[in-house]
C-alpha cells in the first residue's frame, strides 16, 4: 500500500485523474440505480397447493394437507412448514434452510417429494411455486353509473393497455367471476339414465384440446392435435351427451338448460356509492418505482380524455409518492447536514485544508455509487440513511490525514513530503479504525427476519463508503495536498486558531488533568450514569417498542357476520360503518377522508365485508390514526349477528391490526376453538387491547352424515356417497373457458330448487347397481354442523392464532407482553392443560432478534478486540476502548428519554453504529499516545498531550456526524419517524461518547499503565 501512496502523492496527474474517473463513473452509475421505498429482497419460501372443489376444511386437511406436510417434515433442506386448509383448497408455505443449495433447488426437491404422495383420486394436482415479492406503485378505481359488465370491459382494456405500455404486472379486483351453468333436472337424469359426471365428461371431451399422436416421415415429424370449437351457448347446446340404440342422439339441448351467470357472492367494490373495479400497478424486483410512476403519469395524460362521461378514474394509494417524499426528505436533510459539515470544517480548519477535506465527501459518495450499481443496491430509505451515518466517518479519516500533513508543513517540510509522510504515518491507525467500524456494522447483515431484510443496506452502504473513504484519503487526498503549499494564514484564521488554542489550553487541559488525577470519581460518575440509564429501561421510563410505530395515511375495518346472516343486514351494517366514518370526519372539523373503498362479499363470502380508507397527507392531520379508529369504533353500533370485527390503523411497519398474537396448538380442533374464544374474551378485558380475533373462524354449515344399516348392508361406502352428494350439491366442473381476458368454468349441476334445503337433498334418489333407486334419507343419517373456515398447522401440529390490536398510546408492546406472561397466560394455560400456549408474531420475532443480536454482538466484540490487539501489540490496551461500548449506550438511552421516543429494534441497530464511531476516534487517540510515549513523555503528560491534540478531530467528527443526522430529530413529517430511532441513538450517543473518548479512555489507560507498572515491580 505504501508504494501506491507514494505513486499517487508524487505523480502530477494521478490524483486528479482518479478523481475525475470516479466522478464520471459515479454519475453514470447513479442513472443505473433504482429508486424505491425499501430494499428488494427475495422470499426464501416455497408455496404448494392442491384444490378439490366442495371439500370441507377438515377433510381437506386430513386427506391432502396432512399427507403432504408429513412427506416434507424432516427434510434438512426445509425449515418450517405452515399448512392451511380451507374449503376446497390446501396450501403449504415452506421455508428454505441454509442447507439447501438454492431456493430453486429446494423447490425442485419439494415438487419431486410431493409428486410421490398418494392423494384422493378426485383431488387436483399439486402446484409448486416460488412467491415473488411485489411493491405497489399506485391503484386506480374505475367506477361509474354503468353495468358491471361494461365496467369490466373497460377494466380489461385498461389492463391490456398498461401491459403494452411497459408495466410488468397489472392486477384487477372487483370483477365478478362468471360461470356457465348447465342445469339438468333430476327427473331428466332418471329418465335418461345419465349422471352429472357423464354429461360433464361429454362436454370436457368436446371442448378440451387433446394430442392425437405423431406422424413421422422422411423429412418431417408432425405433432397431431385435435381442434376444438370455441364455446358459445348455442354451440354448447349441440354437444352430444348420449347415443341411443336407434342411432339417434341426445344433445345437451334435449336434457339441460344453459346460461351464463355471475357467480354468487363475488367481490363487489363500491366507490362514492357506485360500482368500481380496482386496478393495481405493481413493481417487480429490479424495477424503479419512480420510473414506473413517470410512465404511469404519461399514460394517464393520454388515457383519461378517452373515457366516456359515464365512467371515471380515481387514483389512490400512490405508494410512489411516499417513495418520492421519503427520498426527498432524506436528500434535503442530507444536503442540510452536508452544509453544516462544510461550515464546521471551514470554522475549525485552514481554508485550503477544509476544501480538500470537504471534496472527499462527494468523491467517496461517487465511488460508493459505482459499487451500488454493480451490486444492484437501490436508492432507498435505508441506503440513503447509510450515507448520512457514513458522512462523519468519511470526514474524520480525511481530517486525520489533512491535519497531520499541515502540521508537517508548519514544521518546515515541503508540501509533497509532508503529505506523503502524513499519509504513511496515519495509514495504520486509520486502517485499524476503519476495520473496527466495518466490524461493528457488517455483521448486522446476518440479522434475519423482516428487520434484517429491510435494514440490510445500512451496514453494506456504510462499509462501502468506508472503503471508498480509504481510497480517497490515501490515494487522492495526498496528491491534492502535495500540490498545496503552506501559506501564512489569514488574520481571521489566526484569530480562530488563537481562540481555539486559548480554550483548549486554559479550560480543556485543566479538565483533562482533573479527570486523570480524580479518575476514580470520573469512572464512578460514568458507571452511575450507565446504571441510571439501565434503570430507565427496566422501569420502562424509556419504554421498548420492538417495531417502531410509524403511521401510514390509511384506516380500515373488516367485518364478518355469522354464517347464514341475512344479506340485507350485512349490507345495512356496511352502510352504517360508512355513515359513522363520515360522522367522525364531521365531528373532527376537517376533511381527512381522501378515498373510502367499500368491499362487499369480501373473499367471495357474502357474510364478510371491508372498508379501506385513504387519509389526507399524514403530516397535516391533528389526529393520530389510533385516535380516529377509537372514535370510529365508539360511534359504531354492533348488531348481534356480528361474528368478528377488526379496525385497522394503517402503519408503514408491521400490520394494520393484530399487534399482539398468541399461538395455541393441539390435536383437537374443537378444543382449540373453545380455547381461542375464551382467550379472546380475556384479551378484550384488557384496556389497551381491542378487536380480538382468531384464525379458526367458523365457516359454512356442513352436512354431517353417517351410513344407515341399509347402506352398510348394500356395501355402499361413505366415500361413494360423499362423492354423490358433492356432485349433486356443488355440481361437476366440465371445463374452463377463456374468453379474451376472462376465464370462467362450465359447471353441470342440478337446478337450485332441487338442492336448496336439507329435505330436498335427503330426497335425492341414489341408483344402485341393479338400477333400483333408493332415497338418500334411507342411506344416511344426516345433521348440519357449523364447520371451521380454515385449519392451520405448523410443522404437523394443528394451531390457532389469537390476535388483538394494541393501542400504543396506552401501552407499548413490550409492556403488554410482560402483562400477558405474568397475569393472563398462566391462568389460561392452567385452564386448558392439553393446549400449548406461547406468544407469537412480533413476540417471536423479538425473541429471535435479540438472540441473533447477542451472537452478533459477541462476534463484533471478538473482531474488534482482535484488530485492536494486533494494532497496539497489546492484550490489555484494547480493553480500555472496548469498555466504552456499554457506557456509550448511556447517552443514547437518555436521548430517547429527552425526545420521548421509545427504544426499538432500529435503535439497537443505531447503537451498533455508535460503537463503531466511538471506537474509531479512540484508536487514533491511543496511537498518538503511543507516539508521545516513544518520544519520552511520561504517562500523565503523554495522555494529556494526546487528548489535547485529538480534541479538534474528535469535535469535528462528533459535530459532522451529528450535523448529518440531527435534522431528523426535528423533522415533524411522519416520513422521518421510521429513521428517528437510529438517528437518536447515534446523535445522543456521540454527545456522551465525546466525553468517553476525551476523558474516560485516558483515565482507563492511566489506570491500566499504573497497574502494569505495579505488576512489573512485583515481578522484579
Nearest in space to 276 (alpha carbons), one of 10, 591, 585, 612: 612
Residue 639 DSSP one-character state: P
Q: Sign of the C-alpha dihedral, residues 818, 822, 824, 830?
A: positive
Q: What are phi and psi of 408, to 5 degrees?
A: -65, -35
**DSSP output for 963-1000:** HHHHHHHT--SGGGTTTHHHHHHHHHHHHHHHHIIIII
Place of cell 427496566: 538
A 10 A CB-CB count for 30 gives 15
Residue 490 DSSP one-character state: P
Residue 544 DSSP one-character state: B
CA torsion 419-422-423-428 (nearest 10°) is 180
- The grid coordinates of residue 499 equal 481562540
Q: CB of 395 within 8 A of CB of 466?
A: no
Q: CB of 314 within 8 A of CB of 271?
A: yes
Nearest in space to 632 (alpha carbons), one of 678, 675, 547, 691: 691
**DSSP output for 42-91:** ---EEEEEEE-TT--HHHHIIIIIHHHHHHHTT-TTEEEEEEEEETTEEE
- pLDDT, residue 164, reads 87
Give the Cα separation of 427 and 18 in Å (integer): 19
**DSSP output for 866-929:** HHHHHHHT-SSHHHHHHTHHHHHHHHHHHHHHHTT--B-HHHHHHHHHHHHHHHHHHHHHHHHH
Q: CB of 508 within 8 A of CB of 499?
A: no
Residue 168 DSSP one-character state: S
Q: CB of 998 within 8 A of CB of 954?
A: yes
The list of the chain residues with pLDDT below 70 reads 1, 40-43, 208-234, 263-265, 330, 333-334, 337, 348, 450, 483-490, 548-550, 617-621, 650-658, 699-703, 738-742, 784-787, 971-976, 1020
SS3 865: helix
Give the Cα separation of 560 and 641 in Å (integer): 9
- pLDDT, residue 141, reads 92
SS3 244: coil
Residue 778 DSSP one-character state: G
- pLDDT, residue 577, reads 92
- The grid coordinates of residue 591 equal 376533511
A 10 A CB-CB count for 831 gives 12
| Cβ neighbours for 104, distance < 8 A, ≥ 6 positions apart | 130
E strands within 842-893?
A: none
- pLDDT, residue 221, reads 36
Give the Cα separation of 623 and 628 in Å (integer): 7
Residue 824 DSSP one-character state: I
Pairing of strands 797-806, 660-665: antiparallel
Give the Cα separation of 593 and 870 in Å (integer): 62
A 10 A CB-CB count for 490 gives 11
3-state helix, strand, coil in the chain (%, to 5): 55, 20, 25
Pairing of strands 178-183, 742-749: parallel
Q: CB of 737 within 8 A of CB of 746?
A: yes
Question: In Å, how far are 180, 426, 761, 950 from 946, measured between CA atoms?
Answer: 87, 15, 94, 6
Nearest in space to 365 (alpha carbons), one of 29, 8, 36: 29
Q: Sign of the C-alpha dihedral, residues 932, 935, 938, 939?
A: positive
Q: CB of 179 within 8 A of CB of 263?
A: yes
Give the Cα separation of 87 and 62 in Å (integer): 12
- pLDDT, residue 655, reads 46
A 10 A CB-CB count for 224 gives 10
Buried/exposed code over 377-415 (b: 16+ C-beta within 10 A; e: otherwise): bbbbbbbbbbbbbbbbbbbbbbbbbbbbbbebbeeebeb
Give the Cα separation of 668 and 799 in Å (integer): 9
Nearest in space to 81 (alpha carbons), one of 65, 98, 66, 94: 94
Nearest in space to 880 (alpha carbons), one of 693, 723, 1012, 708: 1012
Maximum Cα–Cα distance across the chain: 124
Give the Cα separation of 564 and 575 in Å (integer): 19
Question: In Å, how far are 607, 609, 993 from 604, measured between CA atoms?
Answer: 9, 9, 58
Count, residues in the chain: 1020
Give the Cα separation of 245 and 237 in Å (integer): 21
Q: What is the pTM of this model?
A: 0.75
Nearest in space to 434 (alpha carbons), one of 348, 364, 383, 380: 364
A 10 A CB-CB count for 660 gives 24
SS3 281: strand
SS3 267: coil
A 10 A CB-CB count for 614 gives 20
CA count, 13 A, side-chain hemisphere, 39:
25
**Helix-then-strand count for the chain, H and E:** 36, 30
- pLDDT, residue 486, reads 54
A 10 A CB-CB count for 282 gives 20
A 10 A CB-CB count for 548 gives 23
A 10 A CB-CB count for 225 gives 11
Q: CB of 171 within 8 A of CB of 280?
A: yes
Amino acid at each position: 500500500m505504501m508504494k501506491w501512496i507514494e505513486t499517487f502523492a508524487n505523480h502530477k496527474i494521478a490524483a486528479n485523474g482518479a478523481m475525475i474517473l470516479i466522478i464520471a463513473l459515479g454519475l453514470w452509475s447513479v442513472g443505473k440505480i433504482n429508486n424505491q421505498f425499501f430494499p428488494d429482497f427475495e422470499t426464501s419460501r416455497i408455496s404448494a397447493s392442491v384444490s378439490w372443489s366442495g371439500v370441507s376444511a377438515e377433510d381437506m386437511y386430513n386427506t391432502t394437507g396432512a399427507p403432504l406436510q408429513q412427506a416434507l417434515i424432516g427434510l434438512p433442506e426445509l425449515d418450517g412448514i405452515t399448512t392451511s386448509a380451507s374449503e376446497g383448497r390446501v396450501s403449504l408455505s415452506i421455508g428454505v434452510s441454509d442447507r439447501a443449495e438454492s431456493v430453486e433447488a429446494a423447490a425442485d426437491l419439494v415438487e419431486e417429494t410431493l409428486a410421490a404422495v398418494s392423494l384422493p383420486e378426485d383431488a387436483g394436482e399439486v402446484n409448486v411455486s416460488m412467491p415473488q415479492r411485489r411493491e405497489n406503485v399506485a391503484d386506480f378505481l374505475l367506477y361509474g353509473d354503468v353495468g358491471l359488465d361494461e365496467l369490466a370491459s373497460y377494466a380489461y382494456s385498461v389492463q391490456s393497455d398498461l401491459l403494452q405500455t411497459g408495466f410488468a404486472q397489472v392486477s384487477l379486483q372487483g370483477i365478478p367471476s362468471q360461470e356457465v351453468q348447465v342445469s339438468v333436472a333430476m327427473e331428466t337424469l332418471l329418465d335418461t339414465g345419465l349422471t352429472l359426471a357423464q354429461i360433464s365428461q361429454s362436454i370436457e371431451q368436446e371442448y378440451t384440446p387433446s394430442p392425437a399422436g405423431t406422424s413421422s416421415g422422411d423429412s418431417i415429424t408432425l405433432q397431431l392435435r385435435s381442434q376444438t370449437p370455441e364455446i358459445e351457448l348455442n354451440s354448447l347446446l349441440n354437444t352430444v351427451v348420449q347415443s341411443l340404440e336407434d342411432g339417434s342422439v341426445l344433445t345437451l339441448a334435449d336434457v339441460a338448460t344453459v346460461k351464463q351467470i355471475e357467480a354468487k357472492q363475488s367481490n363487489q367494490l363500491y366507490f362514492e356509492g357506485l360500482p368500481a373495479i380496482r386496478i393495481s400497478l405493481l413493481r417487480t424486483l429490479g424495477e424503479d418505482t419512480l420510473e414506473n410512476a413517470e410512465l404511469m403519469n404519461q399514460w394517464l395524460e393520454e388515457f383519461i380524455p378517452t373515457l366516456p362521461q359515464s365512467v371515471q378514474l380515481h387514483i389512490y394509494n400512490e405508494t410512489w409518492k411516499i417513495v418520492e417524499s421519503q427520498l426527498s426528505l432524506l436528500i434535503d436533510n442530507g444536503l442540510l447536514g452536508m452544509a453544516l459539515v462544510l461550515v464546521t470544517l471551514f470554522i475549525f480548519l485552514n481554508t485550503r485544508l477544509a476544501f480538500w477535506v470537504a471534496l472527499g465527501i462527494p468523491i467517496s459518495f461517487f465511488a460508493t455509487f459505482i459499487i451500488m450499481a454493480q451490486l444492484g443496491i437501490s436508492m432507498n430509505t435505508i441506503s440513503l440513511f447509510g450515507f448520512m451515518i457514513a458522512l462523519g466517518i468519511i470526514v474524520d479519516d480525511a481530517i486525520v490525514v489533512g491535519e497531520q500533513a499541515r502540521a508537517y508543513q508548519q514544521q518546515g517540510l515541503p508540501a509533497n513530503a509532508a503529505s506523503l509522510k502524513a499519509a504513511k504515518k496515519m495509514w495504520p491507525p486509520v486502517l485499524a479504525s476503519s476495520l473496527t467500524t466495518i466490524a461493528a456494522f457488517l455483521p448486522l447483515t446476518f440479522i434475519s427476519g423482516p428487520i434484517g431484510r429491510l435494514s440490510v443496506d445500512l451496514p453494506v452502504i456504510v462499509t462501502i463508503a468506508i472503503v471508498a473513504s480509504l481510497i480517497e484519503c490515501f490515494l487522492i487526498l495526498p496528491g491534492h495536498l502535495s500540490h498545496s503549499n503552506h501559506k501564512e494564514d489569514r488574520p481571521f484564521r489566526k484569530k480562530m486558531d488563537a481562540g481555539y488554542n486559548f480554550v483548549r489550553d486554559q479550560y480543556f487541559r485543566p479538565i483533562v488533568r482533573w479527570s486523570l488525577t480524580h479518575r476514580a470519581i470520573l469512572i464512578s460518575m460514568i458507571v452511575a450514569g450507565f446504571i441510571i440509564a439501565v434503570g430507565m429501561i427496566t422501569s420502562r421510563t424509556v419504554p421498548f417498542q420492538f417495531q417502531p410505530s410509524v403511521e401510514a395515511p390509511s384506516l380500515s375495518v373488516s367485518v364478518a357476520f355469522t354464517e347464514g346472516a341475512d344479506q340485507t343486514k350485512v349490507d345495512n351494517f356496511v352502510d352504517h360503518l360508512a355513515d359513522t366514518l363520515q360522522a367522525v370526519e364531521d365531528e373532527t372539523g376537517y376533511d381527512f377522508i381522501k378515498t373510502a373503498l367499500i368491499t362487499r362479499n369480501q373473499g367471495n363470502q357474502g357474510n364478510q365485508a371491508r372498508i379501506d380508507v385513504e387519509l389526507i397527507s399524514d403530516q397535516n392531520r391533528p389526529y393520530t390514526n389510533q385516535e380516529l379508529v377509537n372514535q370510529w369504533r365508539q360511534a359504531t353500533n354492533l348488531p348481534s349477528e356480528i361474528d368478528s370485527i377488526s379496525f385497522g390503523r394503517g402503519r408503514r411497519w408491521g400490520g394494520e391490526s393484530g399487534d399482539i398474537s398468541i399461538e395455541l396448538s393441539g390435536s383437537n380442533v374443537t378444543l382449540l376453538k373453545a380455547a381461542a374464544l375464551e382467550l379472546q374474551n380475556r384479551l378484550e378485558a384488557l384496556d389497551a387491547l381491542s378487536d380480538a380475533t382468531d384464525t379458526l373462524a367458523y365457516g359454512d354449515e356442513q352436512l354431517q352424515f353417517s351410513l344407515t344399516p341399509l347402506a352398510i348392508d348394500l356395501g355402499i361406502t361413505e366415500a361413494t356417497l360423499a362423492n354423490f352428494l358433492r356432485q349433486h350439491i356443488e355440481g361437476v366442473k366440465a371445463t374452463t373457458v377463456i374468453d379474451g381476458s376472462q376465464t370462467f368454468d362450465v359447471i353441470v349441476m342440478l337446478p337450485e330448487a332441487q338442492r336448496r334445503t336439507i329435505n330436498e337433498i335427503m330426497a335425492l334418489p341414489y341408483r344402485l347397481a341393479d338400477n333400483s333407486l333408493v332415497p338418500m334419507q334411507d342411506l344416511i343419517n344426516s345433521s348440519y354442523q357449523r364447520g371451521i373456515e380454515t385449519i392451520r398447522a405448523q410443522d404437523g401440529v394443528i394451531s390457532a392464532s389469537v390476535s388483538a390490536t394494541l393501542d400504543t398510546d396506552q401501552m407499548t408492546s413490550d409492556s403488554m407482553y410482560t402483562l400477558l406472561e405474568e397475569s393472563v397466560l398462566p391462568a389460561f394455560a392452567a385452564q386448558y392443560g392439553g393446549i400449548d400456549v406461547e406468544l407469537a408474531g412480533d413476540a417471536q420475532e423479538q425473541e429471535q432478534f435479540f438472540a441473533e443480536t447477542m451472537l452478533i454482538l459477541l462476534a463484533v466484540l471478538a473482531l474488534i478486540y482482535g484488530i485492536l490487539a494486533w494494532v497496539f501489540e497489546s492484550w490489555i490496551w484494547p480493553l480500555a476502548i472496548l469498555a466504552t461500548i456499554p457506557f456509550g449506550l448511556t447517552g443514547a438511552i437518555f436521548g430517547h428519554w429527552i425526545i420521548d421516543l421509545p427504544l426499538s429494534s432500529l435503535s439497537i441497530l443505531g447503537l451498533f453504529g455508535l460503537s463503531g464511531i466511538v471506537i474509531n476516534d479512540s484508536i487514533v487517540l491511543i496511537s498518538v499516545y503511543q507516539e508521545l510515549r516513544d518520544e519520552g513523555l511520561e504517562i500523565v503528560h503523554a495522555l494529556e498531550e494526546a487528548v489535547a491534540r485529538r480534541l479538534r478531530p474528535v469535535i469535528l467528527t462528533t459535530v459532522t456526524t451529528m450535523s448529518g443526522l440531527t435534522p431528523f430529530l426535528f423533522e415533524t413529517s411522519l416520513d422521518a419517524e421510521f429513521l428517528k430511532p437510529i438517528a437518536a441513538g447515534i446523535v445522543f450517543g456521540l454527545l456522551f461518547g465525546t466525553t468517553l473518548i476525551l476523558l474516560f479512555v485516558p483515565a482507563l489507560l492511566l489506570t491500566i499503565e499504573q497497574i502494569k507498572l505495579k505488576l512489573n515491580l512485583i515481578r522484579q
